[in-house]
Amino acid sequence: MRRIAVALIAPLIAAGALAGCGTSSPSTSSASPNTSVAVSGRFGAAPKVVIPSKKAGGSLTIKTEIQGSGPSVASGDAVLGNFVIYLWSGTRNKLLDSTYIQSPQVLPAQLGLPGLVTALHGAKAGSRVLAVLPPKYGYGLQGNSQVGVTPTDTTVWVVDVISAFSPTAAASGTHVSSGGGALPAVTSPVSGAPAITIPAVKPSGKLVVQTLIKGTGPKLATGQTVVAQVVGTNYRTKKVFYTTWPSVSAPGGTPFGFVLGGRVIPGWNKGLVGIPAGSRVMMIVPPAEGYGKAGNVSAGITGTDSLVFVIDILDAVNKTA
């Protein structure tokens, strides 16, 4: 199911507003079949969703099923949450994906689904939101062929909002180091991505983890979903090959969500365990703990390149958050 979730979300980030329409007020008409979608269950557990055996209407329908009491999702925020997605095609429907059986995920602000952006804007952490998205409020004329969503299909989303993060969210702890000497030096603007200066000395070939800002949150544990801001620099070329911060190529910026101990490079899975949330760490990752002998051609990384990451740990939650 994780593969499906990525297919449902990832193409939208690059595509922008696929539907090509502005946001509109959600429907409140009781005549629309969309308002008959029923959701039950407690926050944090997979909801029971009942969709009528009728054709979906053309109206955007949004409903807060559970009202939370945490901070509200602001414009441009990425949302960490659990969600289920149903395909509503003709008079039939089926489950496309559920994160509840794996781990929460980050929904980027640049989803390209105007109806879902409208549904989540202003939602408070701890809320469960239902959003019924007809094509023009969802995947639009393109649909999503990777998961079988056609241009005439409606999708039904139920999202449990755990927390939200602005594009410039950063580590919130106490500054303890800026690196330097035999290590890369890190400088930080008032707001924005930290800058990494690579020294003239060669990397040691070992995994190095240096705390720059020490947070006060719970220590990271394997299996948790971690939300982070990341800058990655190639030690050899001294060039940034990856950033989650707002940049020229990605003005919106989106904090990165991943499962610690999951499908990230080995250096992260080893080096981040036990680091308190709220911290900023610098990691020097040798090839064996990074992309291995194959490297990463698309990022300009060879099989002998060491990498430098500066990672701001914004939050970490358990699977059952």
Closest Cα partner for 60 from 99, 105, 21, 106?
Answer: 21
**In the CATH scheme, what is the code of domain 2-165?**
3.10.50.40
User: Considering the entire predicted model, what is its pTM?
Assistant: 0.88
- Does the pLDDT at position 44 exceed 50? yes
Q: Are 212 and 175 in contact (CB under 8 A)?
A: yes
Please, which pLDDT band fits residue 205 given cuts at 50, 70 and 90? Answer: very high
- Does the pLDDT at position 30 exceed 80? no
What confidence score (pLDDT) does residue 7 get?
58
What confidence score (pLDDT) does residue 243 get?
95
What confidence score (pLDDT) does residue 5 get?
55
Q: Which of 89-98, 182-191, 211-220 has the lowest mean pLDDT?
A: 182-191
What confidence score (pLDDT) does residue 109 get?
82
Per residue in 146-177, pLDDT (tens digit) is 888 999 999 999 999 999 999 999 999 999 99
Domain residue limits, the chain: 2-165, 174-317
More confident position, 74 or 6:
74
Q: Average per-residue pLDDT in the chain?
A: 90
Taking residues 188-216, report their average pLDDT. 94
Which CATH architecture best describes the domain 174-317? Answer: Roll (3.10)
Per residue in 48-97, pLDDT (tens digit) is 999 999 999 999 999 999 999 999 999 999 999 999 999 999 999 999 99
2-165 and 174-317, same CATH topology = yes
What confidence score (pLDDT) does residue 252 get?
76
What confidence score (pLDDT) does residue 26 get?
58
What confidence score (pLDDT) does residue 65 get?
98
What confidence score (pLDDT) does residue 147 get?
84
- Does the pLDDT at position 23 exceed 80? no
Please, which pLDDT band fits residue 251 given cuts at 50, 70 and 90? Answer: confident
Give the whole-angstrom CA distance, residue 121 versus residue 124. 9
Taking residues 8-20, report their average pLDDT. 41
